[in-house]
Amino acid sequence: MGRIEFLNVYKRYPSGFEALRDLSVVFEEGSMTFLTGHSGAGKTTCLKLLLCLDQPTHGEILVNGVNVSRLSARRLPHYRQNLGAVFQDHKLLAARSVFDNVALPLRVSGMREREVRRRVSAALNRVGLLERESLLPMQLSTGEQQRVGIARAVVSRPKVLLADEPTGNLDPELSADIMALFQGFNEVGATVIVASHDRGLIESLDNPVVELSHGMRVR
Amino acid sequence: MADSPKQGPWPRTSHRWGWWRGHWRVARDVFSLVSVRTGTSLLVWLLVGIALALPASLMLLQTNLSQLAADWGGGRPSVSVYMELGALNAAELAAQLERRAEVEAVALTTQEEALAEFTAYTGLGDALTGLERNPLPASLRLTFVADAGADALEAVAASMREAEGVADVVIERTWLTRINAISRLARSLGLVFGVLFGVGAVLVTATTVRFAIDSQLDELKVMKLVGASAGQLRRPFLYFGALYGAGGGLVAAMLVSLGLIVLEAPLLDLLGSFDQTLVLGGFDPVFVAALVGLGSALGMAGAMLAVRQRLAGLEVM
């Protein structure tokens, strides 16, 4: 599946802001880890670097031993197709139905439509939204939108699942539901990294925690 | 800077026919979107069509003028020799000229034949019957072999001027020269307008596609996030450009066709006055296909321009 290592990673933005400083951390294959810290601690930067949406100023990010920050543009799409990502703002397409939103990664990978339908139905069923597949995202509640985002992230059975403040806008009960979904995917083998500053939520679960402060690892 | 890894962290997988399936999905989506945005699509097609119609018309004009020049006297200059009134050696002179290698044919029109033609064409024969004698001279019309140069033409004309009984010698190439000059002008104008209006067509499509990209930036960001390649991000917009351009090519073909319908009758009248007929050529399925293909290529070029501007450095998070 996916073993992830950050080795002496620095990230300095053109503005001079240092988002990460000498970060070294290992996310073991098949683990579910919380990445926590105050706002601006570097959590989102870690996820951006893992998604190869940005490059570290220094250091290496290894996934299964491959330095992904040096992947060529030709190899990046396939790499990203094996990552699932969930965001606080869901990043759903407003003009597309729930079904089409969830189907997007599968269609991008060139999957047959019959298989797409089967997989999307299974993913929506898992997050409890099968009955709402024809609705537009704006017709759903915030919690439901987040579950659509999760369904889209896991529909292609990614090896690594990344979540950036996935419970940011949700009440504690919904947050617990979302976490249960992540744990379910983790149990079938996916490496899960959840960036969150919700200490209560993190403390309520018995998962490894990596804490960042001003771009450095403090726990 | 370290080299790129030779392979990614996961084993390579791909779906059979996935690339074609992706094209099919995009083509279907783009067709449906273009047909839904009827107003915008019609406007773009019309703009691109007008941009293509003018150079295409000039090209067609040039083709037809070249054909006309080729058909006019076999496309070769000729010499008319007018005899003095009452000269009796026209037939002898014709026989002499026919023996010359550079002369292909000699057509003799006797005084009587000239009068008959004049009467038939003008209907003024009665005006001449009152005269004591036929005022129209006999004439010889010489056509030359294909490789006869201007010097040979001048030499024959000069020798005819010296010949007994010859009143005048006219080298009839003025019209041909003019037609060829107009044909060259049409060709040059076609090229200049082709380039100018081609750039116009590219810019029209680029602007339209740019708007389309801007309206779909969120979708593009998400697609990039879930692993779409640069080609997949570009694809719908290249289809957009191709479709807008191809539609523009069809509109251009329709406009040219309309122009031909309007111009055909006056052109035929004009050429009829020179005893020439015209079969308009060049507007055939190949010409229409070339217009559609050219429009499509220009549309794709415009789309590529827009895509390069808007998708470079697309920030996802």
Domain match, B108 and B251 both: no
Domain match, B111 and B158 both: yes
Percent of chain B with pLDDT over 90: 29
pTM given for the model: 0.73
Q: Indicate whether A87 belongs to any domain.
A: no
Residues paired with A6 in a beta bridge = A25, A61
The CATH code of the domain that includes B136 is 3.30.70.3040
Q: Which residues contact A64 (CB under 8 A, 6 or more apart)?
A: A2, A3, B9, B10
Domain match, A162 and A70 both: yes
Domain match, B66 and B186 both: yes
The range of the structural domain enclosing residue B109 comes to 78-172
Q: Indicate whether A9 belongs to any domain.
A: yes
Domain match, B221 and B273 both: yes
- Look at A110 and B9 and tell me if their CB atoms are within 8 Å: no
Q: Indicate whether B317 belongs to any domain.
A: no
Can you tell me the mean pLDDT for B245-254? 94
pLDDT per residue over A20-37, tens digit each? 999 999 999 999 999 999
Domain match, B187 and B225 both: yes
Q: Indicate whether A71 belongs to any domain.
A: yes
Q: Indicate whether B236 belongs to any domain.
A: yes
The CB density around residue B87, as the number of other CB atoms within 10 Å, is: 17
Domain match, A147 and A204 both: no
Q: Which residues contact B147 (CB under 8 A, 6 or more apart)?
A: none
Residue ending a domain, among A157, A183, A203, is A157
pLDDT per residue over A165-217, tens digit each? 988 877 888 888 889 989 998 998 899 999 998 888 898 888 999 999 999 99
By CB atoms closer than 10 A (0-12, 13-18, 19+), residue A156 is buried
- Measured distance CA(B203)–CA(B209) in Å, rounded: 10
Domain match, B237 and B288 both: yes
Q: Indicate whether B20 belongs to any domain.
A: no
- Look at B221 and A2 and tell me if their CB atoms are within 8 Å: no
Residue B3 confidence class, pLDDT cut points 50, 70, 90: low
Residue B241 confidence class, pLDDT cut points 50, 70, 90: very high
- For residue B217, the distance in angstroms to the closest alpha carbon of chain A comes to 10
Within 8 A of B18 by CB-CB distance, chain A residues are 109-111
Whether the CB-CB separation of A155 and A124 falls below 8 Å is answered with: no
Domain match, B226 and B284 both: yes
Facing residue for B15 by CB, picked from A44, A66, A112: A112
Q: Indicate whether A54 belongs to any domain.
A: yes
- DSSP codes of every residue in B43-79: HHHHHHHHHHHHHHHHHHHHHHHHHHHHHGGGGS-EE
pLDDT per residue over B119-152, tens digit each? 877 777 677 777 778 888 999 998 888 777 777 8
CB of B17 less than 8 A from some CB of A: yes
- Measured distance CA(A148)–CA(A127) in Å, rounded: 8
Domain match, B222 and B256 both: yes
Q: Is the pLDDT of residue B238 over 90?
A: yes
What is the CA B113 to chain-centroid distance, rounded? 41
For chains A and B, count residue pairs whose Cβ atoms are closer than 8 Å: 107
Q: For residue B132, which phi and psi values (nearest 5 degrees)?
A: -70, -40
Whether the CB-CB separation of A175 and A17 falls below 8 Å is answered with: no
Q: What pLDDT does B73 receive?
A: 55
Q: Is the pLDDT of residue A162 over 90?
A: yes
Percent of chain A with pLDDT over 70: 100
Within 8 A of B14 by CB-CB distance, chain A residues are 110
Within 8 A of B17 by CB-CB distance, chain A residues are 110
Within 8 A of B8 by CB-CB distance, chain A residues are 66, 68, 71, 75, 78-79
Residue ending a domain, among B153, B172, B191, is B172
pLDDT per residue over A59-75, tens digit each? 999 999 999 999 988 88
By CB atoms closer than 10 A (0-12, 13-18, 19+), residue B260 is middle
Number of independent structural domains in chain A: 2
Domain match, B198 and B272 both: yes
Q: Indicate whether A148 belongs to any domain.
A: yes
Domain match, B194 and B294 both: yes
Least confident of A37-41, A132-136, A207-211: A37-41
The range of the structural domain enclosing residue A40 comes to 1-82+158-219
Q: What pLDDT does A194 receive?
A: 95
Mean pLDDT of chain A: 92
CB of B119 less than 8 A from some CB of A: no
Residue ending a domain, among B172, B199, B224, is B172
Q: Which residues contact A54 (CB under 8 A, 6 or more apart)?
A: A11, A45, A48
Residue ending a domain, among B172, B194, B223, is B172
| Smallest CA–CA distance from B19 into chain A, residue | A110
Domain match, B56 and B114 both: no
End-to-end CA distance of chain B: 25
Q: Indicate whether B252 belongs to any domain.
A: yes
Dihedral angle at the C-alpha atoms of B288, B292, B295, B299, nearest 10 degrees? 170
Q: What pLDDT does B1 receive?
A: 47
- For testing contact with chain A, the best of B1, B3, B226, B235 (most A CBs within 10 A): B226
- Look at A78 and B10 and tell me if their CB atoms are within 8 Å: yes
Number of independent structural domains in chain B: 2
Domain match, A75 and A163 both: yes
Q: Indicate whether B16 belongs to any domain.
A: no
Mean pLDDT of chain B: 84
Q: Indicate whether A96 belongs to any domain.
A: yes
Q: Between helices A142-154 and A172-187, what is the axis angle to 10°? A: 10
